Amino acid sequence: MTGIEINGLNKAKLLAALWNNAAPPLRTGIRNFAMTPAEAAELLLRDGAVFEYLEDRTLMVDLGDDTFDPAGYDRENGDGLAARVIARLRLTGSIQALPAGA
């Protein structure tokens, strides 16, 4: 798949949305509540824009450019999920998890 345009998106909201939609581990979670944009902003400042694993989620993302390669994220979390999360963020501003099956 080609890259997804993320130019103009708030990177903290994008990171939070991707994390909130990433598959939680099979074991009971380290964290069972959503990431906020403020938390994501702190992580971006502290750790940069590349996240393979973040807390208990597998992300495989590099948010440092204007385009985003969803292959790693989708491989770990579901085909086409990154595009759906980003489209929803652009359309509604929502960082919440998509409804099951969406």
Residue type at 6 in one-letter notation: I
Q: How many helices (H) and strands (E) does the chain have?
A: 4, 4
**Per-residue confidence of the chain (102 residues) as pLDDT tens digits?**
579 999 999 999 999 999 999 988 776 555 567 899 999 999 999 999 999 999 889 999 999 999 999 999 999 999 999 999 999 999 999 999 998 777
How open is the CA angle 48-32-51, to the nearest 5 degrees?
20
pTM given for the model? 0.91
Please, what is the average pLDDT of the chain?
91
Where do the domains of the chain lie?
Answer: 4-24+34-92
Give, for 73, the enclosing helix (H) or strand (E). Answer: helix 71-77
Residues recorded for the chain: 102
User: With b meaning 16 or more CB within 10 Å and e meaning fewer, what string describes 36-47?
Assistant: ebeebbebbeee
Q: Would you state the structure tokens that stand for residue 18, as one six-digit string?
A: 């991707």
CB atoms closer than 10 angstroms to residue 2: 8
